[in-house]
Amino acid sequence: MPLLNVSNCCPHLSSLPLYIIINLLFHEPRSFIGKMNTKNIVLLLIEVMKVMKFPRNLRSWKNNNNNNNNNNKRMSMHNYGTGTFGRVLLVRERGGEQRWFALKKMSIADVRKLRQEQHVRNEKEALMEARHPFIVTLFWTHHDTRFLYMLMEYAPGGELFSYLRNLGHFCDSYSRFYAAEVVCALEFLHSRCIVYRDLKPENILLDSCGHIKLTDFGFSKKLREKTYTLCGTPEYLAPEVIQSQGHDTAVDWWALGILAFEMLSGHPPFFDDNPFGTYQKILACRIDFPKHIDIYARDIIRKLLVINRDRRLGNMKNGVEDVKKHVWFKNIDWSLVLERKLTPPIEPHVVHDGDTSNFETYPNEDPKKLPPPLSEKDLEPFKDF
The helix (H) or strand (E) run that includes residue 379 is helix 376-379
Predicted TM-score (pTM) above 0.85 = no
pLDDT (tens place) for every residue of the chain, 385 residues total: 344 455 555 555 554 444 445 444 544 444 445 555 655 665 665 555 544 333 333 332 333 333 333 333 334 566 666 666 678 999 988 877 788 999 999 999 999 988 888 889 999 999 999 999 999 999 999 999 999 999 999 999 999 999 999 999 999 999 999 999 999 999 999 999 999 999 999 999 999 999 999 999 999 999 988 898 888 899 999 999 999 999 999 999 999 999 999 999 999 999 998 888 999 999 999 999 999 999 999 999 999 999 999 999 999 999 999 999 999 999 999 999 999 999 999 999 999 999 999 998 777 777 777 888 888 888 888 888 8
Query: The domain that contains 302 carries what CATH number?
Result: 1.10.510.10
User: Sign of dihedral through CA atoms 241, 246, 252, 258?
Assistant: negative
The structural domain count of the chain equals: 3
**Cα separations (Å) of 298 from 183, 258, 305?**
17, 11, 10
Which residue segment(s) compose the domain that 46 sits in? 11-50
- How far apart, in whole angstroms, are the C-alpha atoms of residue 193 and residue 126? 10
- How far apart, in whole angstroms, are the C-alpha atoms of residue 152 and residue 57? 18
Q: Examine the domain organization and report whether 94 and 43 are in the same domain.
A: no
Would residue 245 count as lying in a domain? yes
Q: What's the length of the chain?
A: 385
Would residue 1 count as lying in a domain? no
Q: Examine the domain organization and report whether 169 and 242 are in the same domain.
A: yes
Q: Examine the domain organization and report whether 77 and 117 are in the same domain.
A: yes
Would residue 190 count as lying in a domain? yes
Neighbour-count burial for 220-238, b at 16+ CB within 10 Å, e otherwise: bbeeeeebeeeebbbbbbb
- Backbone φ and ψ for 194, nearest 5 degrees, come out as -110, 125
How many helices (H) and strands (E) the chain has is answered by: 14, 10
**Cα separations (Å) of 207 from 87, 98, 213, 228, 294?**
20, 18, 7, 34, 28
Would residue 348 count as lying in a domain? no
Active centre residues (catalytic): 198
Can you tell me whether residue 105 is helix, strand or coil? strand
Q: Examine the domain organization and report whether 118 and 30 are in the same domain.
A: no
